[in-house]
A and B are shown apart, each in its own frame.
Chain A
Amino acid sequence: MSSTAKNSTAAHASSEIEYLPYDDRTQSLRLIDRYPRSFTRNPSQPLIRRPLTLSELTGPTDLERRVKTGDGDLSLTVAGGPRAMGQLISVSGRVTDEDGAPLAGAVIELWQANSAGKYIHEMDRHEAPVDPNFTGEGCIVTDAEGQYQFRSIKPGAYPVMESDWWWRPPHIHFSIFGPSWMNRFVTQIFFPGEPLNETDLLLNGVPDPETRQRLLLQPQATTVGTFNILKFRQDFVLRGKRSTPALD
C-alpha cells in the first residue's frame, strides 16, 4: 500500500497524466472513533492494488447531458424572487490537478443545509424550519481557467439524530467530476472559527492539522457597495499529475 509507487500500465494508456493512490497521511481516516458506520461499512480485507488501464483513465464527459447546471446562485430559487434567509455568502476558487494545471469544464455539484440547519431531504428528521426560498442544491461548471463561483447563504449547524451529542458544524458539500474516473471527487468544506469544528468527527477525521486547514473556507477582504455579500475562497486539488518520462 505504498503511496509513491508508480503505476506500470498508466504510461501506456496515457503518456501525460498519472494517478498515484491517495496518500493516507493527507486524507481522512477511514475508520473514525464514534462514527459507527465506518466500522460496519469499510472492507475488512486490504484494498487491492491494480494497474490503471484505459478504463480507469477515462471517465464521463459532457455531463451537462445528465445533470442540470445552473447560474450558481443558490440564494435565489427564481430570478428576481425573494432571497433565502441567512447570511449571504459568495464562494469562489480554482480546481486544479496536482501540478496546479487548471481543470476546465469540471462539473461541481453543491448541497447544503439552510440557515436553520435543515435539508430538504427525506432522510432529514431534524425539527428545524424549511426555507421556502432555498433548495440548498446547485450545479456549476469551472471555466477555462478552472475557476468557479457561486452564491448561497451560510448553512446552519444541525444535530446528527443517530447520535446523542454530535452536532455538525456549518459546512457545504462538493461533488466534483474531474476528467477521469480516477479523480471523481467528493468532500465537504467548513467555515473557519466555528466552535463546533473542534468536535466534528468528520473534519477531525483528517489527522494532519495542515491538511485540515485546507477544508476551511478562506475569508476574503470585505467590501461594501450596492450588492453586499461575504466572500470566501476555496481551491481544490484533484488527483492527477504529469508523469515523469522514464529514463530507460
Chain B
Amino acid sequence: MTPTPYSTIGPFFPGQFADSCGDLTQVDGKTAGGQHILLHGSVVEEGNIPIRNAIVEIWQPDANGVFRHPLDPRYAEADPGFFGWGRYRTDAQGRYSFRTVLPGRASDGSGALRCPHVNLMVLAIGLTRRLVTTVFFSDAPDQVDDPVLKCVTDPAARRRLFTARDHALDREGLPAYRFDLILRGENETPFFLD
C-alpha cells in the first residue's frame, strides 16, 4: 500500500493545539537537565516576507543525547523532565520560539555520534507537503563530521544549517540561538528529501 497523500495544513489549524507546546523543558512537574536555551527565528518566503501562522515542529534528543523513544538503546536513561518534541505557530512577524535544551551528541544508530542538532519541520499555506531540515550546534562548523550534514555539499548552504548565539534575543537569563527558516529566495535554507 502506498502512503495516503499529504496535504497542506491550511490557514485554520486550531491555535490551542499549538499554543502550549513551545516549552520542551517541563514534563509532569519535572524540569529538564542540561543547559536550557531559546531556539528561535523567523519563517520567511520569497522576498524575505515573514510567514504568519506557519506551524513549526521540532524533535531532538535530551542534553545527554538520548531520544525519548523506545528505539533508542538508551531510552531508559532519557531525561524524564525533557519532552523532545515541540510545536509553535509563528506570530505576525513570522517568528517562532522554543524553550528547550542544548542537545547532546546522539548516536546515529550505527555506533557513531551525530553533531548536536534539532530536527525541524514546517507546515503552512502553500505547502502541500511538510518541509524538513536540521539545525546544528557547533563552535567549529567547518570541522563537523555528521552523516546528514555532509549530504549538503555546497559549503555556503552547509553553513546556513548552523545556529548562532544571538545575545540580543537572550531572555530570562537563557542563551538564545537563532535559526531562520528561509523557505525560498536568497540564502535559502537547505531542506531534505522527505
Contact = CB atoms under 8 A, between A and B. Distances in A.
Q: Do A and B come from one complex?
A: yes
Interface of A: 1, 9, 12-14, 21-23, 26-30, 32, 35-45, 47-51, 53-61, 63, 65-67, 96, 98-100, 109, 111, 113, 119-124, 135-137, 139, 173, 175, 180-181, 183-188, 202, 205-206, 211-212, 214-215, 235-239
A25 to B, nearest CB: 9
Q: Size class of B's contact patch?
A: 35 or more
Contacts of B184: 40-44
B5 A211 contact: yes
B59 A51 contact: no
Given A35-B126, A38-B127, A237-B2, A54 B108 contact: yes
A206 B16 CA distance: 30
A143 B188 CA distance: 42
Given A121-B14, A237-B4, A66 B110 contact: no
A22 to B, nearest CB: 6
Contacts of A14: 71, 109
A32 B151 CA distance: 28
Ranked 7 nearest A-B pairs via Cβ: A37-B126, A13-B109, A60-B85, A12-B110, A58-B69, A54-B109, A53-B108
B5 to A, nearest CB: 5
B47 interface: yes
Nearest to A125: B11
Given A21-B193, A47-B192, A184 B121 contact: yes
Contacts of B126: 35-42
Nearest to B47: A40
B20 interface: yes
B6 A54 contact: no
Given A40-B126, A51-B148, 17 more contacts: A40-B47, A40-B184, A41-B45, A41-B125, A50-B193, A53-B108, A53-B110, A53-B148, A54-B67, A55-B117, A66-B83, A66-B85, A122-B15, A175-B9, A187-B7, A215-B7, A238-B4
Interface of A, secondary structure class, is loop
Contacts of A53: 106-110, 114, 147-148
Given A49-B192, A66-B20, A54 B107 contact: yes
A237 B4 CA distance: 5
Contacts of A212: 5
Nearest to B190: A48
Given A56-B119, A65-B27, A186 B130 contact: yes
B65 to A, nearest CB: 10
Contacts of B68: 58, 60-61
Nearest to A1: B193
Given A53-B109, A186-B9, A22 B1 contact: no
B9 to A, nearest CB: 5
B114 A55 contact: yes
A195 B188 CA distance: 39
A180 B60 CA distance: 12
A43 B5 contact: no
Nearest to B53: A123
Interface string B82-122: 01110000000000000000000011111000100101010
B64 to A, nearest CB: 14
A85 B151 CA distance: 53
Contact of B129 (A26, A27, A238): A27
